[in-house]
Chain A
Amino acid sequence: METFLQQLINGLTIGGFYAVVALGYTMVYGVLKLINFAHGDMFMWGTLAGWGLLTTVFAGLLDLDLIAVLIVAIVVMAFIGLLGMTIERVAYRPLRSAGRLSPIISALGAAFALQAVARNVSEARWRTYPEGLLKEMPDLHLSGTVGLSGLQILMLGVCAAVMIGLYLFVQRTRIGTAMRAVSLDHNVSRLMGINVDRIISLVFFIGPALGGLAGVMIGTYYGSFNFTLGWVFGLKAFIAAILGGIGNIPGAVLGGFILGISETMVVAYGPDLGLVDASAWKDAIAYVLLIAILITRPTGILGETVAEKV
C-alpha cells in the first residue's frame, strides 16, 4: 500500500509534466488542426536553454536557487514562446491552405532543424543541471515512508497553477473565447472581427512557452537530459493529449496524469505480474494505451463524439 501511494505521487508528478507539454499540443491542434511535431523539440530547447542559463549566467546565483530557477523559467518561457511564434510564421502559416500532408512534413522538418541545433549546442552529450538544485526545500511526510519531496510539491503546484490558469483564461476571457471560436471556424471568426492570425500567433506563444516551462521543470527534476528528450517525451505528451481528447484542455491534463501514473505503476508492479523487464517496455505503455482508447473511443476520453465535419 505504501509503495502504491508513493508510486501514485511519483506518477502524478510525471503526469503533470506530460500534461503541461500536452497543453501546447492540444491548443495548437485546436486552432490549426495540426500536429505540431516541433513542439516536443521546442520543449527540449526549454530544457537546454534552462541548462545553458543555469550553468553560465545564473551560476553565481545558485545560493538562491529558487529565485534563480524562477527567473530562468520566465526567461526561457519568453524565449521558447517567441521561438514558437517564429516557427508558426515561417513553417506553418504559408501552408495553411495546402492540405493536410504538407504541414506535417513542414512540422517534422522544423523538428529536425531544432534537434540538430540542440545536438550541436549540447555536443550530443548528456548534460546535467547544477548539482543539488532545489533540493533543500522542506519535504512533506504523509504517513510511514510515503511523502512528497519539496521539489515534487513545487512541481505539482506549478503544474496545477498552469493548468487552472490556462483553463480559466480560455473559458473566461474574451481572448480565450476567441481562441475557442477560431478553433471552430476561421472564416466565421474573421466575420466577428477576430484577427485570426494574431490569435494563432498567441496560441503559438502560449503553448511553446508552457513547453519551455515544462522543459526547465524536467531538467530541474531529473537533473540530466540530452537532445533526444524532445522526440520521446514530446511524442508521449502528444499521446496524452489524444488520450484525453485533443483540442480539449481538461482532456490534456487528464491524459497526462493517466499516462504518468500508468507508466510509473507498470514499472513498479510489472515484475510482480511477470513482466520481467518492465522498465524496458515502459515506453510502449503510452502507445498501447493510445491504441486501446482510440479503438474504444475514437475521439479520446473527454473528446466530443461529433462526427467528422464533412
Chain B
Amino acid sequence: MDQALKYVRRPSSHLWEIGLLALALALPYMSFMDRSRTSLAVFAGIYVMLGLSLNVIVGYAGLFQLGHAAFFGLGAYTAAILSIDYGITILATIPIAILVAGGAAVLVTKPILHLRGDYLCIVTIAFGEIFRIAVTNNVFGITGGSNGLFGAGRPEFPLPWLEPVPAIMLAIILALHLLGTRKSGPVLQWGGAAVIATAYYLLPLGLDRKPLFVVSMAMGAVAVIAGAVLRSNRASARVQMIVLVGIVLAFALGTVLGAETITGEIAYSMDEYFNVDDPTTILGVEFTPVAFKRDARPYYYLVLGFIVLTVVGMRRLQNSRLGRAWLYVREDQLAAEAMGIDTTQIKLIAFAIGSAWAGVAGVLYASRFTVVAPESFNFLQSVIMFSIVVLGGSGSIPGVLVGTLGMVVLPELLRDAAPTFMYEGAGPVVILALILGFYLYHAQDRLPAAVLESAAIAAAFFLPPLLLGEPALYVVGILMALVMLIAIARLRRRTARYLPWVAGALAVYTIVLLAAGGSLGPDLSDGVSGFRIMDWRDGLMGVAMVLMMMLRPAGLIPERRRGIAPVTVEQPSEPIPTAARQQTTV
C-alpha cells in the first residue's frame, strides 16, 4: 500500500497537465487526425465537459444522477431556440442556458433531495425521460418534435484586430493565471504559458506552420533558460526543467508527425476556417466580425478552451469550502449535519452547478451541430455520462478524460473500424496505449514478470491480425488483451509496476507504423465477411464496463483521497453485509 502511494504521487502537480495540454493543442495537426476524427475530438470534448459537470454531482457530492442528459438538452434547446427564433448569437446564450439548466435543476431536485441513493437514481432517470418525451412531443410548440430544431447559429464574435499579438498576450495572462500557483515555479509558468499561447492563437489563426514552430520552440527554450537560471539550485526545478524540455520536444514532435502539412500546402488563411465579414466600427474601434465555418478545428480549440476553464474552475471548487462540505456530506452525512452543514442546501448547490455547466456544454453542442434533436439527450446519453465519471474514477478530473476516451472515443472509432484499423492511423492505438498505461501505472509489478506480461499483451493485440490477416481478429486481439488484464489483475494485483512500458512500446510501435507510411503488414482492405464491429459496439462497451468495474471498482484513476479515509475491511472470502455497505452510501 505504502509502495503504491509512492508511485502514485506525482512529482509536481502541473507537469501532467501541461504535457496533456501541449498534446491536446497539437492534436488536430497530427497526421492521423482527418476531418472526421477532429470532429470526433470536438464531440468528445463536449462529453469531457459533461463528465466534469456531472462529476460535481456524482463525484464531489456523492449523489446519483442518471438524467444528466436532460440538462445538457436544456442548454442545447435554449441555445437553439434563442438563436433560431430570436437571432441571438449563439455564444451569447450561454448565460441564459446556465440560468435555464441550473434553475431547472434547482426546481426539479429540491423536492427529491431527501430521497436515499437508489430512489434518487431512479427519479433522476424519470426526469431525464420526461424531458425527452416532452421535447419529442414538441412541448409548448417550440421544440420541433421528434425531428428537433435545425439551423442554430455557429459561434461568431467581433475581433478588434486580426493580428494575433494581443491574443497572445491574453493567452499568456490566462495561462499564468492557470498555472500560477506557488508550487509550480516560474519555469512552468513561463514555459507553459509560451507553449499554450503560441499554439492556442497562432495555429488556428493561420500563420505558416514552420515559422510557428520555430517561434514556439524558441519561446519555450527561452522560458526554460530563464526558468533554469531562476531556480537552478533546486532539484525540483531541475525535474521541472527536464520535463518542460520534454514537453516542448513532444509538442514539436507532435506537429512534425503531421509531416504532410509541413511540406505540402502549408499556408492557412483565415477564411479556410472562418467567415470574415467587413469590419464595422464600434465606439471608434474597428471590429472584424468572424464566424465559425463547418470545419471542426476552430470548434476544437473553442471546446478545449472551455475544458481548460472548466478544469480550473472544478479544481478551485474542489478545494473551496464548498468542496470540503461536499466531501463531508459524501463521506458521512450525519457527521456533516452534526458539524452544522446544511446538507440539503449543499446537495442542491451541487445539482445546480453541475446542471448549469451541462447547459453550457449544451450550447457548445448546439453551436457545433446546429441541429438539436431529442435522441441526443436520451437515457443512453445519461448512462454514458455517468459511466464516464465512474469508470474514470468518481471525483477525479483526469478520470473524466480517461472515461471519455473509453465511453465516447473508443466506441466511435470502432464505428468505422475498417479492416485497415491499425494501419491507417495511430489514433486507436494511442488511446489503447493511454488506457493501458493509466491502468498499469496504478497497478504495481516486478520487472521480469512485467516484461513478459507486456509482451503478451502487445502480442495479443498485434500478432493475430498481422499473421492471419483477418479483420475479425482485431476483436479477438482486444478480447485477448482484456483477458490478460484480468489475469494480471486477479493473480497479482500488486505486481504490475513496470507495465507502463507497454504503453511506451505501443507508442513506439505506432510511430514505426507511421514512419513506414502505413505499409506494414498485409493489406486487409477487403475480406470482412459479414462481421461489422459497429453492430457489436454497444455490446463491447457493455462488456468493457463490467470488466472495468471488476478490475478497478474505484475507477481507472481514483480520486486521491483527502480527509477522512474510509477503512477497507480485511476481505473475508465472502462479501460485506448490506448493512455495512449502506453506511458508505450516498
Contact = CB atoms under 8 A, between A and B. Distances in A.
Interface stretch (B168-176, B191-199, B299-307, B569-577): B569-577
A196 B114 CA distance: 31
A106 B536 contact: no
Contacts of B544: 109
Contacts of B554: 98-99, 102
B542 A109 contact: yes
A166 interface: no
Contacts of A291: 112, 123, 126-127
B539 to A, nearest CB: 3
A291 B569 CA distance: 37
B122 A116 contact: no
A32 to B, nearest CB: 7
B133 interface: yes
A100 interface: yes
Interface string B532-547: 0001111111111110
B1 interface: no
A287 B130 contact: yes
A105 B549 contact: yes
Contact of A108 (B119, B130, B334, B383): B383
A127 interface: no
Interface in A253-303: 277, 280-281, 283-284, 286-288, 290-291, 294-295, 298-299
Interface string A98-120: 11111111101111111111011
Interface stretch (A14-22, A183-191, A203-211): A183-191
A176 B334 CA distance: 34
A96 interface: yes
B538 A101 contact: no
A95 B579 contact: no
Interface stretch (B23-31, B219-227, B385-393, B462-470): B385-393
Contacts of A110: 542, 546
A109 B411 CA distance: 14
A116 B540 CA distance: 8
Contacts of A190: 574
Sorting the interface of chain B by its residue count into under 10, 10 to 19, 20 to 34 or 35 or more gives: 35 or more
B545 A197 contact: no
A186 B578 contact: yes
A70 interface: no
Contact of A95 (B129, B538, B540, B553): B553
B551 to A, nearest CB: 9
A94 interface: yes
Contact of B546 (A90, A99, A288, A295): A90
Contacts of B386: 104-105, 108
A53 B116 CA distance: 42
A100 B586 contact: yes
Given A109-B544, A291-B112, A284 B134 contact: yes
Interface stretch (A74-82, A135-143, A234-242): A234-242
A33 interface: yes
A186 B540 CA distance: 33
A310 interface: yes
Interface in B225-284: none
A35 interface: yes
Q: Which of B125, B574, B575 counts the most A-chain CB atoms under 10 A from its CB?
A: B575
The A contact surface, by secondary structure, is: helix
A100 B553 contact: no
A187 B542 contact: no
A45 interface: no
B55 interface: no
Among A187, A242, A288, max chain B CB count under 10 A is at A187
Nearest to B584: A99
A102 B542 contact: no
Given A94-B550, A99-B581, A231-B379, A105 B536 contact: no
Contact of B549 (A106, A116, A299): A106
A196 to B, nearest CB: 7
B546 A242 contact: no
B543 A109 contact: yes
B319 interface: no
B553 A99 contact: yes
A185 B578 contact: yes
Given A283-B133, A290-B126, A186 B579 contact: yes
A106 B386 CA distance: 12
Given A112-B538, A310-B334, A95 B549 contact: yes
Contacts of B545: 105-106, 108-109, 112
Interface in B371-390: 379, 383, 386-387, 390
A298 B114 CA distance: 8
Interface in A214-230: none
B216 interface: no
A196 B540 CA distance: 31
Contact of B536 (A94, A97, A116, A277): A116
Nearest to B139: A281
B535 A106 contact: no
A188 B577 CA distance: 8
B13 interface: no
B542 A97 contact: no
A308 interface: yes
Contacts of B5: none
- Residue of A35, A108, A231, A308 with most partner-chain B CB within 10 A: A108
B546 A109 contact: yes
B58 interface: yes
A281 B334 contact: no
A97 B576 contact: yes
Given A33-B578, A109-B546, A116-B538, A97 B569 contact: yes
Interface string B59-75: 00000100000000000
Contacts of A231: 379
A239 B126 CA distance: 9
B137 A290 contact: no
A309 B379 contact: no
A242 B122 contact: yes
Nearest to A241: B122
Interface in B556-586: 569, 571, 574-586
A295 B539 CA distance: 36
A97 B334 contact: no
Nearest to B332: A310
Contacts of B115: 294, 298
A124 to B, nearest CB: 8
A89 to B, nearest CB: 11
* 5 closest cross-chain pairs (CB), A and B: A116-B539, A112-B542, A109-B545, A96-B575, A98-B553
Interface of A: 29, 31-33, 35, 90-91, 93-106, 108-117, 119-120, 183-188, 190, 196-197, 231, 235, 238-239, 242, 246, 277, 280-281, 283-284, 286-288, 290-291, 294-295, 298-299, 308-310
15 contacts: A90-B546, A96-B581, A100-B118, A100-B581, A105-B548, A108-B545, A112-B545, A113-B539, A119-B539, A235-B129, A281-B137, A287-B125, A294-B112, A299-B119, A310-B334
Interface of B: 58, 64, 111-112, 114-119, 121-123, 125-127, 129-130, 133-134, 136-137, 333-334, 379, 383, 386-387, 390-391, 394, 535-546, 548-550, 553-554, 569, 571, 574-586
Given A103-B549, A116-B542, A280-B133, 6 more contacts: A91-B550, A96-B576, A110-B542, A111-B542, A185-B577, A294-B119
